[in-house]
Amino acid sequence: MGKFEEQICDDLEAIREAGLWRELRQIESAQSTCIKLGGRKVINFSSNDYLGLAGHPALDQAAREAVEHFGVGSGASRLICGSLQPHHELESALAKWQGTESALVFSTGFAAAQGVLTSLLGRGDVVILDKKSHASTIDAAKLSGATMRVFRHNDLENLEKLLQWAADRGGRVLVATESVFSMDGDHAPLAGIVELKERYGAWLMLDEAHAVGLYGPRGQGLAAAGGLSESIEIRMGTLGKAVGAAGGFICGSRRLTELLVNKARSFIFSTAPSPAVSAAARAGVELTQGAEGQSLRSQLWQRVDELRRAAGALGWETPAEPSAILPLIVGGEAKAVATMERLREAGFFIPAIRYPTVPRNEARLRVTLTANHTAEDILQLLDALGQAVTR
C-alpha cells in the first residue's frame, strides 16, 4: 500500500508541475446562467446547455411523470428487462426528428461512439479521424482494432490522401469527424467530406454533439442544414447538451441499429438509462423542434452575434462560422488558469481548457453561450475579460 500511494503521489506531482492540475468544483445550484459556487453567485459561461433546457419545467415534468410510472432505476440492461417504454418513445422521437429509419439511445454520447465504432470496424479496417476529434471518438477508434489515421484539422486534401491510401488496402474505411468542434467552435467542411467519402466508397460517422438543437430545420443539426443528412451513414449526438438531459444517440438505418443492439458492448453490458432521464430527453427533443425551440435558437444566435462582434472588435480571433462556443486562446497553461481565477473573483465562471484537451500552449478560456444569457450578461463579460486578460 505504501508503494502504491508513493507512486500515485509521483504521478500527481508531475501533473501539478506541468500546470495541468484538475479538480472538481461543487456547484450548489441548478444548471443555469447564474450558478452558486462556494456560497457565491457567478455568471456561468461554461455550460453546454445551449438552449437552457436543463432546468426547463417541461423536462422536469416529464422526468417526474416517468418516476411515477416507472420508478427511478431501470433495473437491468436494455436486452435483459430494462428496455422501458420511455427509451422506446425517445428513440422514435429521435428517428422522427432526424428523419432516419431508426435511432438507438446509449447512456452517454461517449458510450455511443464506443459502441458504434467497435461494432462496425475491426482488424484489417481503417478509421480516419480529424486531428481535433473528441476523446470519445479517438478512444473508440483505438478500441475497435482498426488501423487509425489522422487527417489535419478540416484539411480535405490531407483527407483525400489518406482515403487513397486506405482504398488500396481493402477492408472497410470509415471517416469520423464532428460538425462543430467542441473546443474550437469551428465547423467541418461537411459537403467536401461527404463528396470525398462517396468518391472513395468510405463511410462517415458525424458527431453532432455541439450542433443538434442549434442548426438546421427544427434544430436537426449541421448535416441537415447543409442538406447532407441522407448521405451520412452514422449520425451521432448527445442528449446532454442542447437537449438538456443526458444520454447519447445514434441515428441511421434500421440495420445499423440492429447491428448495434447485437454487437455494441457499451450498449449490451450496461444498465439502461434511468427512465426519468430518457423521458426528459424526449421532452427536450420535442421542445427543441417546436416554436419555443425556434425562439430559443434565435435568442441564442443573437447573443452569439453580439459576443462575436465585440470579441472581434477587441482583437480576438473568432471562428469563421458562428457557434455557441467561443475559444479565447490565451497560450500558456498557467496563464490560462490565472485568468480563469481572476474572472472567477470578478463573478464569472469560464473554464480554462488545457492540454491534453487542446494542444500545449494553446490553452484557452472556452466561453459558451446559452439562450438564457442576456445582452447585459455579455456586456459584463466583455468588461471583465478586458480587465482579467493580459495578453
Ligand X SMILES: *Cc1c(COP(=O)(O)O)cnc(C)c1O
User: Contact positions toward ligand X, by CB under 6 A?
Assistant: 108-110, 134, 136, 178, 182, 207, 209-210, 238, 240, 248
Beta strands in 240-362 (DSSP E): 248-252, 325-331, 348-349, 352-353
For residues 145 and 380, give the distance between their C-alpha atoms in angstroms, rounded to a whole number. 49
Smallest gap from Cβ 112 to ligand X, in A, equals: 7
Task: List beta partners, residue 175.
Answer: 128, 204
For residues 95 and 251, give the distance between their C-alpha atoms in angstroms, rounded to a whole number. 6
In eight-state DSSP terms, residue 231 is G
For 160, the grid coordinates are 483525400
For residues 133 and 178, give the distance between their C-alpha atoms in angstroms, rounded to a whole number. 7
Smallest gap from Cβ 186 to ligand X, in A, equals: 13
Query: At 277, which helix (H) or strand (E)?
Result: helix 275-289
Smallest gap from Cβ 223 to ligand X, in A, equals: 14
Planar angle of CA 186, 116, 269, nearest 5 degrees:
130
Smallest gap from Cβ 181 to ligand X, in A, equals: 7
Residue 49 vs 333, nearer CB to ligand X: 49
Question: Chain centroid to CA 14: how far?
Answer: 29
Q: Are 251 and 244 in contact (CB under 8 A)?
A: no
Residue 182 vs 220, nearer CB to ligand X: 182
Residue 107 vs 385, nearer CB to ligand X: 107
Look up cell 470525398; give the residue.
Answer: 196
- Whats the size of the chain, residue-wise? 391
Smallest gap from Cβ 248 to ligand X, in A, equals: 5
The alpha carbon torsion through 206, 364, 107, 263 (nearest 10 deg) reads 40
Residue 119 vs 238, nearer CB to ligand X: 238
Residue 182 vs 372, nearer CB to ligand X: 182
Smallest gap from Cβ 375 to ligand X, in A, equals: 27
Q: What share of the chain is helix, strand, coil (3-state, %, to 5)?
A: 45, 15, 35
Residue 209 vs 330, nearer CB to ligand X: 209
Q: Are 278 and 86 in contact (CB under 8 A)?
A: yes
Smallest gap from Cβ 121 to ligand X, in A, equals: 18
For 197, the grid coordinates are 467519402
Residue 166 vs 242, nearer CB to ligand X: 242
Number of residue whose CB is nearest ligand X: 109
For 340, the grid coordinates are 480563469
3-class DSSP state of 237: strand
Task: State the catalytic residues.
Answer: 182, 210, 241
In eight-state DSSP terms, residue 357 is T
Distances 53 to 30, 143, 183, 267, 345 between C-alpha atoms, Å: 12, 33, 21, 26, 27
